Chains A and B, each alone.
Chain A
Amino acid sequence: MRSSCRLSTFDRTDRLVTAADRPEGYEALNKLVAREKTVIARGAGLSYSAASFGLETLSVDMTRFDRILAYEPNTGMITVEPGLRVGDLLAVLAAKSRHLPALPGYPEITVGGCVAFDVHGKSQYHTGNFGDWVEEFRVLHPEHGEIACSRNSEREIFELTIGGLGLTGIITQVTLRTAALNGTGIQTSCVRARDLVEAADIMRAHSAEVDTLYSWNNMNLRGRGFGRGVVFLEKFVAVPKMAVARTRRLFGIRSQLPLRIWTRTLTNLVLRLYERAQPVGKSRVSGLHTSAFPIEGKEVYYAAFGRLGFREYQMIVPFQRWVAFVEALARVFEQARVPVTLGSLKLFKGTGRLLRFRGEGICLAIDVPAIAASLGLFSELDRLALAMEARANLSKDSRMGAATCEAMFGEYAEFRSTLRRFDPNRRCQSRLRGLIGV
Chain B
Amino acid sequence: MSSALVVGATTGVGRGIARALAKRGVDLMLVARTERDLRATAADMEVRFGIRAHWLVTDIALPGFEPDDLLERCKSLLGDVASVFVPAGAVSDEDYGPNPDIVAPIAAVNYLGPARIAATFGRAMRSRGAGQVILFSSIAAAAPRGRNVAYSAAKAALEIYARGLRKELEPKGVRLAVIALGYVDTRLSFGMKLRFPVADPDAVGEYVVSRRLHGRCHYPRFWWWITLVLRHLPWPIYRRMPF
Contacts and interface: CB of A to CB of B under 8 A. Distances in A.
Interface of A: 1, 3-5, 20-28, 61, 64, 67-71, 78, 81, 92
Interface residues of B, number: 21
Contact of A68 (B33, B43, B192): B43
A21 B190 contact: yes
A92 B47 contact: yes
Contacts of A20: 190-191
Given A24-B12, A26-B37, A81-B40, A68 B47 contact: yes
A27 B35 CA distance: 10
A67 B41 contact: yes
Residue with the highest number of chain A CB atoms closer than 10 Å, among B11, B12, B44: B44
A1 B187 contact: yes
Contacts, number: 58
B36 interface: yes
A70 B33 CA distance: 21
B44 A68 contact: yes
Contacts of A61: 190
B186 interface: yes
Contacts of A21: 187, 190-191
A81 B40 CA distance: 9
Interface string B1-20: 00000000011100100000
A28 B39 CA distance: 16
Contacts of B190: 1, 3, 20-22, 61
Contacts of A28: 187
B87 to A, nearest CB: 13
Nearest to A19: B191
Interface string B183-211: 00011101110000000000000000000
Interface of B: 10-12, 15, 33-34, 36-37, 39-41, 43-44, 47-48, 186-188, 190-192
Contact of A67 (B33, B44, B186, B191): B44
A349 B34 CA distance: 44
A25 B35 CA distance: 10
A36 to B, nearest CB: 15
B191 A3 contact: yes
A69 B40 contact: yes
Contacts of A70: 43, 47
A28 B44 CA distance: 20
A78 B47 CA distance: 10
A71 B45 CA distance: 12
Contacts of B11: 24-25, 64
A61 B48 CA distance: 23
B169 to A, nearest CB: 32
